[in-house]
A and B are shown apart, each in its own frame.
Chain A
């Protein structure tokens, strides 16, 4: 029941799609996609920035601070989000998935699926009265499930755009939001729409996710509530996080002993993720540092196989953490077992001491899950995958080239990397992309 929308039409979702051709389509509006869009836009190219979530900002906007500088993550991300949202050459489509990237007449043809939000974005003013009126509480995805939000809500405080989104899966269609809305913006009858866009180049900045659902029974105690993901810990540590301070999820206890299990979902052939996720060592050290500020009397232990502190300032950061009293234990945690009162017991070999096996009790455990591609099967949308499942990068002399002419990658779409590297790569993709575009333009002129 989808209807095509034509170019030039002002959609009821508020984003004017001025035309059906752009110089560049950037897939994913995380920090990499935003940076690529800005870099291309600044060079005068028209850019369509497509995001599947209801807000731009990606993973980075939900982080507390960044390593190794301990700068506030949202203080860096928010201005970038704002800049791209107001950029005259950049058009943003949120709630939109890319279904297919294909070649057509030497250009790219991109099929988009624009998901309904059940809100008319031209009318919505982001006042949140619908959110306050909604009686249905649902897990808050932005808070990584640690808090609740409503079935209709603005995604998060500094989301862009500030428009409410209705969660049709949980909505009971009681009409409370429609009655509360001062601008009559609620549209229960909205349908998904398909749209085709043509572009000179595509930058795939599809990002990563954590393999939280990994099949590893050794890390699945019967009571897993105090086993959390690092992204959950980021929210606990964020100043505007779900509890406003660090509490453990099961009973709200202030943790006295926090453990980090590194390589919990990567560098492990037995679970099919043989590569290194590259950021876990550093964000664990960063979180440990932040924790020792938030919980001054807590013991923080990082269980590791090797500390990979390879970036600028990383090793110093690591040495600082050691000096701060954060414990580093070399040994891969083999089991996370249930302990008393919701605590957890880790089994680990003390490989740097006498090799004895210890069972160590902690009241909060962070599993450093592996970084896997958010885009599960690139081939299905017309992109190429490498052997590790991330987007292909066949030519080491063209670092942003995705193996298909006119398609470039940025950030974690092509493999795990930190924010600094992602931004560098986003610039590289924009640069390679703009070179490609100007080559195409000169060819057209000659012919």
Chain B
């Protein structure tokens, strides 16, 4: 491990990213032991707090534990010093996102909610203007009077490309650093049986999020599944995947291949939209209730992202209804413009917003499972 210079100023920097109070921590270990996700050597958040206290910024940003935490808030609820380790973890995640993405936008947006609002509005406006500037053909079919069908696909591919480039840079920065913290690729992946084991566990995590479910195991009284963050989070994630699939299928089957085989895209889009809608509404509801620790610290940007996501989903459904019932209205075209511009913006901004966890969390979980597999291998040997 590289040498770490003690930097007491780091906590001050971190405070710009959230309600950080970790200098009050006296390292009793309550947070780690109360965390349902802390098991054996994968123990957090106290170690992360310690890293922050001594100012080991790079090490902290590289730790997979940041992304294993789903912020159930129990550590903050029970912290004897009210040092709020849960909120600290959230702030450390924001700082890590800002550190890895190449544009510097994330840092600005996380530190000031108004910047986040401004950036999203301006970018959406620029994208919208650009979409409109690519004039539709002479007599466009209804719905596409403002934005042409072809334009959507071409610009969409561009946005996706932008995401891939930005995302790849951010991800590579994170992944190489995380692997280095764990003693290198070779150490982590031998014996190779571990790799398969960890990959299997990762797929399971993505399919049903069992780790996130653990956050609810110790709740007394238990909550109905409808208000468990695991399932709203799951719905948003799968909603997003299915909607992306729908767009991709539409692009491949109809635009590129020129077939009329629209059923798979429509089906995946409808199911995805429904999941997304429920997930977003459930999240907004829980955040508004503010019953749980994490949502007590909501800032404008949190609400803003959720509202944008809700508008995106609602306009998506609006358009689907309009298309299905051939419900011709001038508003449809504006809805399409809004929907397209904001959707593309979301894809482009993913590495710079809290959605960047979609890049980091799978990698962190994979390494987490590699470590766990090592533990069991040693245990049997």
Contacts and interface: CB of A to CB of B under 8 A. Distances in A.
B46 A349 contact: yes
A356 B34 contact: no
Contacts, number: 73
B33 A335 contact: yes
A269 B30 CA distance: 13
B40 A267 contact: no
A363 B224 CA distance: 34
Interface residues of B, number: 25
B80 interface: yes
B32 interface: yes
A333 interface: yes
- Which of B27, B47, B79 neighbours the largest number of chain A CB atoms within 10 Å of its CB? B27
B78 A351 contact: no
B82 A331 contact: no
Given A333-B33, A349-B43, A350-B29, 17 more contacts: A216-B78, A217-B220, A270-B77, A270-B78, A305-B80, A331-B28, A332-B28, A347-B33, A349-B32, A349-B33, A354-B41, A355-B29, A355-B32, A355-B47, A356-B40, A357-B32, A357-B33
B29 A349 contact: yes
Contacts of A332: 28-30, 33, 80
A263 interface: yes
B205 to A, nearest CB: 20
Given A217-B220, A269-B81, A347-B34, A331 B41 contact: no
B38 interface: yes
Interface in A53-76: none
Contact of A356 (B27, B28, B41): B41
Contacts of A354: 41
Contacts of B81: 269
Nearest to A330: B29
Contact of A351 (B27, B218, B220): B27
Contact of B79 (A270, A347, A349): A270
Nearest to A267: B80
A90 interface: no
A365 to B, nearest CB: 15
A305 B79 CA distance: 13
Nearest to B47: A355
Nearest to B27: A351
Given A335-B218, A355-B46, A357-B38, A348 B29 contact: yes
5 contacts: A269-B79, A334-B33, A334-B34, A334-B78, A347-B33
Contacts of B27: 351
A380 to B, nearest CB: 29
B82 A351 contact: no
Interface in A337-361: 347-351, 354-357
B39 interface: yes
Nearest to B32: A349
Interface in B20-54: 26-35, 38-41, 43, 46-47
Contacts of A347: 33-34
B81 to A, nearest CB: 6
Contact of A269 (B40, B46, B82): B82
Nearest to B78: A270
A218 interface: yes
B5 to A, nearest CB: 22
A268 interface: yes
Contact of B34 (A267, A268, A335): A335
A349 B77 contact: no
Contact of B46 (A218, A267, A270, A351): A351
Contacts of A348: 29, 33
Interface string A252-281: 000000000001000111100000000000
A334 B75 CA distance: 9
B109 to A, nearest CB: 32
Interface string B198-221: 000000000000000000001010
Given A347-B34, A355-B47, A331 B29 contact: yes
Contacts of B218: 335
Interface of B: 26-35, 38-41, 43, 46-47, 77-82, 218, 220
Nearest to B221: A217
A141 to B, nearest CB: 30
A269 B26 CA distance: 13
Nearest to A349: B29
B272 to A, nearest CB: 38
B51 to A, nearest CB: 11
List the 10 closest A-B pairs by CB distance, nearest first: A349-B29, A334-B33, A334-B34, A332-B28, A268-B80, A349-B32, A331-B29, A332-B30, A351-B29, A269-B82
A349 B80 contact: no
B280 to A, nearest CB: 31
Contacts of A263: 28, 80
Nearest to B218: A335
Interface in A197-241: 216-218
B67 to A, nearest CB: 18
B78 A356 contact: no
B218 to A, nearest CB: 7
A302 to B, nearest CB: 14
A357 B82 contact: no
Contacts of B80: 263, 267-270, 305, 332
Contacts of B82: 269-270
Contacts of A217: 220
Contacts of B26: 305
A330 B4 CA distance: 25
A348 B33 CA distance: 5
A438 to B, nearest CB: 47
Contacts of A355: 29, 32, 41, 43, 46-47
A270 B29 CA distance: 15
A78 B43 CA distance: 51
Contacts of B30: 332, 334, 349
A349 B47 CA distance: 10
Nearest to A266: B80
B43 A356 contact: yes
- Which of B31, B78, B220 neighbours the largest number of chain A CB atoms within 10 Å of its CB? B78
A357 B28 contact: no
A348 B43 CA distance: 11
Contact of A218 (B32, B41, B78): B78
Contacts of B78: 216, 218, 270, 334
Contacts of B31: 334
A285 to B, nearest CB: 19
B211 to A, nearest CB: 15
Nearest to B77: A270
Contacts of B32: 334, 349, 355, 357
Contacts of B33: 331-335, 347-349, 357
